[in-house]
Structure 1
Amino acid sequence: MHRKILTAVLATLLVLPAVASAQMTMNHDRAGGGMPMGTMAAAANGTTGKVNAVNAASRRINVTHGPIQALGWPAMTMDFGVAPSVDLVPVKIGDTIAFTVGKDAKGVYQIDSLKLAK
């Protein structure tokens, strides 16, 4: 059941080019464990967020983040690829991070800088 829902959501997201290129999985339900928007500060092309999953081997991270106004993105939960220059070793589930978003050589959005927030 969960896979069917996930498949349907992902298929729907592929219809929207901006969303598909960012490879997003949205979750606007703050009651479902997301961070309240008041705890996140937006930067020019970045924000802060809570780390939900880290896969250092595939250089992917799942983050519940605040709005990224420069990209027109609302607060959401999504998977990101991570630039090779970003060190994922110190990043753990539950950490709060400050990060910026850019595009890789293929034009796909990725985290291009990251630091642990205090």
Structure 2
Amino acid sequence: MKKTLLALAVLASLTTTTASAQAGAFIQGMPMKGAVKVGRGSGVVTAIDLKAAKVTIKHGPIAALSWPAMTMAFTAIPPALLKTVKVGQRVDFAMRMRGSVAEVTAIRAR
């Protein structure tokens, strides 16, 4: 009986360890909710939505994030940043990714 209980305890321990390792491997490639990455870019403002505090920028590659050139919307943090730029302007900007949320934290017209 003692050997059976010991064998069950070892089996349970191995199963838990294997499940934890598999979960860790799955999560490793995913952006974590609290993970923050920062970068700098430059591009052209293609749209501004003051109500949603969003700016859309057609930007070049952002090396710090391994991003290719693309057009995407960023949330402005703080929203007052959007009052300093206009559609069609070339801009330099600082940004961060919090999980899957892209935020512009500074923006300056060229």
Common fold, TM-score beyond 0.5?
yes
Structure 2 residue 90 is the aligned partner of structure 1 residue 80: no
Aligned residue in 2 for 1:92: 86
Percent identity between the aligned chains? 31
Structure 2 residue 68 is the aligned partner of structure 1 residue 71: no
| TM-score between both structures, scaled by the size of structure 1 | 0.56
Q: May I ask how many residue pairs the two structures share in their alignment? A: 76
Gaps (5+ residues) in structure 1?
Answer: 1-16, 19-43
Task: Provide runs of 4+ in structure 1 moved above 4 Å.
Answer: none
Structure whose residues are more often strand by fraction: 2
Q: 1:92 to 1:85 in 2, by over 3 A?
A: closer
Structure whose residues are more often helix by fraction: 2
* Higher Cα radius of gyration: 2
Aligned residue in 2 for 1:23: none
- Whichever residue aligns with residue 98 of structure 1, its letter is D
| Kept in 2: contact 1:66–1:76 (CA 8 A) | yes
Gaps (5+ residues) in structure 2?
Answer: 1-29, 32-37
| Kept in 2: contact 1:85–1:112 (CA 8 A) | no
2: CA distance between counterparts of 1:101 and 1:90? 16
Aligned residue in 2 for 1:9: none
Find 1:108's aligned residue among 83, 101, 108. Answer: 101
What is the root-mean-square deviation of aligned Cα atoms in Å?
2.4
- Whichever residue aligns with residue 109 of structure 1, its letter is A
2: CA distance between counterparts of 1:94 and 1:81? 18
